[in-house]
Amino acid sequence: MEFDIMNISASGMTANRLRIDVISDNIANAETTRTPEGGPYKKKIPIFAEYIKRDWNGSKLAGVRVVKIAQDPSYRLVYDPTHPDADEDGYVKMPNVNVLKEMVDLINAQRAYEANVTSFNTVKSMINSALNIGRGA
């Protein structure tokens, strides 16, 4: 049971670390108007799902997993006729990245990561205490 909790916490840490990386990538490219694929940077969105473990005893929650990293194809138009990527009307296609929202999501992901670390360490401490009781310490 305790190891299941540790595995769930570990999968949460992995998922939130990926989430932090994706958010950082979005913030870093918030002004990127030209990509190798052509056009503005497409905001990345991690998609998560519960991970169910099936064994002889039935099904049980085993953590979270990444299903895919989707891309938001939308963009915003900004009028800047001096920009090298401006169209004939003077509009530039900019990534649909709201830096303020990304920063809030980043803080949320960091706190979720920290909560999983705390859970993991608490279970680890409980297991060590149980082992010490068994040793007669």
Total number of domains constituting the chain: 1
Q: Tens of pLDDT along 39-57? A: 999 999 999 998 887 776 7
Residue 16 lies in a domain: yes
Domain assignment of residue 77, given as a range? 2-119
Q: Tens of pLDDT along 74-103? A: 999 999 999 999 999 999 999 999 999 999
Percent share of the chain, pLDDT over 90: 66
Helix (H, G, I), strand (E, B) or coil at 1: coil
53 near 65, Cβ under 8 Å? no
Q: How far apart are CA 14 and CA 39, in angstroms?
A: 31
Residue 30 lies in a domain: yes
Dihedral Cα 98, 104, 106, 108, nearest 10 deg: -150
- Rounded to the nearest angstrom, the gap between the alpha carbon of residue 84 and the centroid of all alpha carbons in its chain is 33
